[in-house]
Structure 1
Amino acid sequence: MNSVAQPAVGHSKATAIFVCILAALAGLMFGLDIGVISGAQQFIQKEFAVSDSTIGLIVSFMMIGAAVGAMVAGWLSGHLGRKRSLILGAVLFVAGSILCGMAWNPEVLIVGRFILGVAIGLASFTAPLYLAEIAPEQIRGAMISLYQLMITIGILVAFLSDTAFSYSGNWRWMLGIIAVPGALFLLGVFFLPYSPRWLMMRGRRAEAEQVLLKLRGNPVEINKELSDIEEQLKVPQRGVHMFFQNANFRRSVGLGVLLQVMQQLTGMNVVMYYAPRIFEGMGYNTESQLWFTAIVGLVNVLATFIAIAFVDRLGRKPILYAGFVVMTIGLGVVGTMMHLGIHTHAEQFFTVAMLLIFIVGFAMSAGPLIWTLCSEIQPLKGRDFGIGCSTLTNWVANAIVGWSFLPLLNGIGEARTFWLYAAFNAVFIVFTFWLVPETKGATLEEIERNLMAGKRLREIGR
């Protein structure tokens, strides 16, 4: 390695950050698709004259497609590589966006949403995995959190786009315009390096060394990282086999699944998918609904910077505690206001403010940190399988939450629906204490050694 010209460490860190930002743009596609369907629903419902049940299918079929994408993403990322999997996801995203914009009936729209979902399922598995393998450990939490930041930016951009097109009611442009950033992301992915871990898994050590030289710059650090990866790869990746043979691996897979269920049951995606409907329940007209929805998107973006700034300083668990407490209070108060009745402008603004406080709680904690933890806790030899299980769980739970929200509103009422999600967040404070490890400052290799040594889950990051 000494014979190779070595870039300065500072320059290498800047290169690593740039690569991580480019990879994290996969989250932009996810956010765009969440955002556009929120504003387009009422116009789709009017043009096609469909019921709330059909709207629920249009919303949730994206998540069903994402579950399918997540199921095959582990195999694809292992055989094609992380980079090529991201390329495939981008191609499907562009195709699905165009089909949604051209849809001539609800069935075609559902198919387009399904294709978009497959694309997002691939990206939601591959991008955090790629980021965990590319980022230096000192900033790994912040870099993986970039993925969530890009999701929030995508949601905001989509909400603003929806608001602009709402004056004409052109939902086709709302859904079709997101093909443009999808195409730009597709172009950018071609400039990403291959994951050094994946290269090592394929026996391409020299290429892995060259990638790490650009991303780390420190020969000692590079040699140690290559040695650690090499040691772990002595036994090949056998996730399914490990799951049935190794109880410690089953624990990490179970924790990843639980974390993703927790993220979905916070109620955040309900707000993202149905924000205009929620604001309608607060007494706002159509234009106000969409503008407040855009404000939700803006707050979501800004609050995500809290996680990026503090995740590698304060750690994962303190931020999760704070987030679940804030979300419990926010949704609890929103439910109470809806129960008491919202009659004045002051009561309307107060209820909106509490909903925004809930958004802050999610965006600073469970939003980015669940993805971070799920990419950190799985051992290398079962990482594709473990992250695949947790990502699949995310989308299945997401589809159930997205489909069930309107029946819940119509069945038990708005107040009880928000109280239900507030109660979930309160329970998650306890789950975080008993089960979630603090992984701040720990290498992926150290986390794996602690897991396989049989340490309690909440101690594997020590």
Structure 2
Amino acid sequence: MVGIAAVRSEGSSGEPQRSTARATALGIMAALAGLMFGLDTGVVAGALPFIATDFHASDALQGWIVSSMMAGAAFGSLAAGRISSRYGRTGAMLVAAVLFLVGTLLCALAPSALVLIVGRVFLGLAVGLAAFAAPLYISEITVESARGSMISFYQLMVTLGIFLAFVSDSLLATGQHWRWMLGIMAVPATLFLGIVLILPHSPRWLMMQGRKDHARRVLNSLRSDEEVAEAELADIQARLHKSSDAGFGLFRSNPNFRRSVYLGMLLQVMQQLTGINALLYYAPRVFQAAHFGVNASIWATTLVGLTNMILTGVAIACVDKWGRRPLLILSCAIAGFALLGVGALLAVGASSFEAQIALCGFVLLFVAGFAIGEGPLVWTLCSEVQPTRGRDFGIGCSTVTNWAANWAISKTFPMIMVAMGAASTFIMFAAFNGLFVLVTLMMVPETKGVSLETLEANLFSGKKLRNLGR
């Protein structure tokens, strides 16, 4: 096994194997699923105040409008593993692309809040499928030396989508054109649909279907060294033949696989408890609590999206150099400190101009902290620690967990803000970021530069989770 991993990691010159331009291009195209994810996540923040006015929506109904997408995403994630296993990662993304388009049109043309909620459920189904299939596809076509950066690029596309949605909302806010805010998403949805149609299946999925010759052709086009491609193909085949169990059968019979599944689920819960999505979905409302005007709060929200995107780019540049654990710990520490600042300012009122500037600074610092680690690295780690035969099931469980936690927080956040007060709410999220540091130190492995097959071998040998990359 060590010999195979060494061949896979290095080309004929002994240098670490790099992805070909084709592999990089395909990874970027698959990452456009993240753009759709971000667009549909971010657009509701700016549109919600105007939707609430037109439909006379109470706090509870606004919670349903926002959280209905998360509920749909949870169900989409449940179906994603089966669809991805049967029709391939590209098949799952194709279904997602169609759902993105249908959901967008329903939302833009909605005559009532109920139809709008149905449209957002369709968007949620699409997001659940895309969030499952795209990072999985990218991890399976990319060499380990670039895997962290490429999967993090998916998260960069998410942040780009959120930022573009915020910009669009800001430009359309003066006319209160919330239908245009939602309807303009049909353009990227159509683009994504066209791109998915030209993506090849991943070599690992083809091997799972017994299509070895097809897998060899695809893998040879993705690797610059044919010897490395053949060794990787043999390694995948060895992993597939090692156990007859897969999915839930493997989960039920193998305690080591259960550990990786539980780790993925825990990481997704912790990501949601950082408070990021509560802020992204309700950012204008948070700024209004600090006495920002409606339009000013929407533009401040756009600045949040820009910070999120830029710092995610920093994470991409650092993840395969610094490693996962150091970035994640730094991320949690910065985010927790910033949220304490937000809570303190909200506690004293933040009514002066100087206090409003300070509040905005702390919010941006929190977003920056999240973006360099907690955002991209959770998805990276969840796609890396699952073994080949259980990857669909394991990533499916972690993705469902993400959306279930996302739904719970987005549904309850307006009521938590009322019950606890804005200050106490953000101090609570700061404490969860501190807890995330402890989880990282105790359980998260360093996977930088380690092949998926090596991680799998260490998992099944019974190594502690934090030592899987050693």
Q: Which residue of 1 aligns with 2:250?
A: 242
147, 159, 168: which one pairs with 1:152?
Answer: 159
CA–CA distance in structure 2, aligned partners of residues 305 and 45 of structure 1: 34
Counterpart contact for 2:18–2:143, Cα < 8 Å:
no
In 1, Cα distance between equivalents of 2:159 and 2:440? 24
The count of residues paired between Structure 1 and Structure 2 equals: 454
Q: For 1:170-189, list aligned pairs within 5 A.
A: 170-189=177-196
User: What corresponds to 2:66 in structure 1?
Assistant: 59
The change in CA–CA distance for 1:228 and 1:97 in structure 2 (over 3 A counts) is same
- What are the equivalent positions in structure 2 for 1:162-311 lying under 5 Å apart? 162-234=169-241, 235-236=243-244, 238-311=246-319
| Cα contact 2:333–2:433 (8 A) shared by 1 | yes
Pairwise CA distance, 1:170? 1.2
Identity percentage over the alignment? 50
Cα shift at 1:15: 1.3
Q: Indicate the residue corresponding to 1:73 in structure 2.
A: 80
1:344 Cα offset (Å): 1.5
Q: Aligned to 1:233, what secondary structure does the other structure show? A: helix
Partner of 2:57: 50
Contact 1:74 1:388 in 2 (8 A): yes
Q: What is the rounded CA distance, in whole Å, between the counterparts of 1:47 and 1:357 in structure 2?
A: 34
- Residue identity matched to 2:263: L
The C-alpha deviation readout for 1:100-131, integer Å capped at 9, x for no partner, is 00000111011000000000000000001101
> Quick one: structure 1 residues 210 and 37, their matched pair in 2 at CA, closer, same or farther if it must change by over 3 Å?
same
Whether 2:396 is the aligned partner of 1:378: answer no
Partners of 2:166 and 2:144 in 1: how far apart?
A: 34
Distance 1:405 1:10 in 2: 46
Specify the SS of the correspondent of 2:448.
Answer: coil
Distance in 2 (CA, whole Å) between partners of 1:19 and 1:143 is 10
Provide the rounded CA distance (Å) in 2 between the counterparts of 1:431 and 1:130.
Answer: 27
Letter in 1 for 2:62: I
C-alpha separation between the residues in 2 aligned to 1:436 and 1:233?
25
Q: Secondary structure at the match of 2:198?
A: coil
What is the alpha-carbon distance in structure 2 between the residues aligned to residue 236 and residue 320 of structure 1? 35
Q: Is the 8 A contact 1:38 1:276 kept in 2?
A: yes
Deviation at 1:25, TM superposition (A): 0.6
Look up the equivalent residue of 1:407 and give its one-letter code: M
1:411 aligns with 2:419: yes
Partner SS, residue 95 of structure 1: helix
Give the equivalent residue in structure 2 for 1:368.
376
Checking the alignment, whether the CA contact within 8 Å between 1:163 and 1:290 is kept in structure 2 is yes
Q: Is the 8 A contact 2:17 2:145 kept in 1?
A: no
SS of 1:342's equivalent?
coil
1:237/1:380 contact within 8 Å kept: no
Cα distance in 1 for residues equivalent to 2:330 and 2:113: 42
Output the amino acid matched with 1:431.
V
Q: Secondary structure at the match of 1:433?
A: helix
Show CA shifts across 1:433-453 (max 9, x none). Answer: 001000011100000110100
Distance 1:84 1:343 in 2: 52
Q: Show the counterpart of 1:453.
A: 461
Provide the residue aligned with 1:328 in structure 2. Answer: 336
Flag the 1:334–1:307 CA change in 2: closer, same or farther, 3 A. Answer: same
Distance 1:388 1:214 in 2: 28
Residues 168-219 of structure 1 show CA distances to partners (whole Å, capped at 9, x for unaligned) of 1011111111011011011011121110101111111111111111110201
Separation in 2, partners of 1:317, 1:208: 33
1:343, CA displacement in angstroms?
A: 2.5
Unaligned 5+ runs, structure 2: 1-15
Residue in 1 that maps onto 2:130: 123
Root mean square deviation, CA, Å: 1.2
1:62-141 matches, within 5 Å, as 62-141=69-148
Measured against aligned partners, the alpha-carbon deviations of 1:400-422 in whole angstroms (never above 9, x if no partner) come to: 01011101110010000000000
Q: Distance in 1 between matches of 2:458 and 2:54?
A: 57
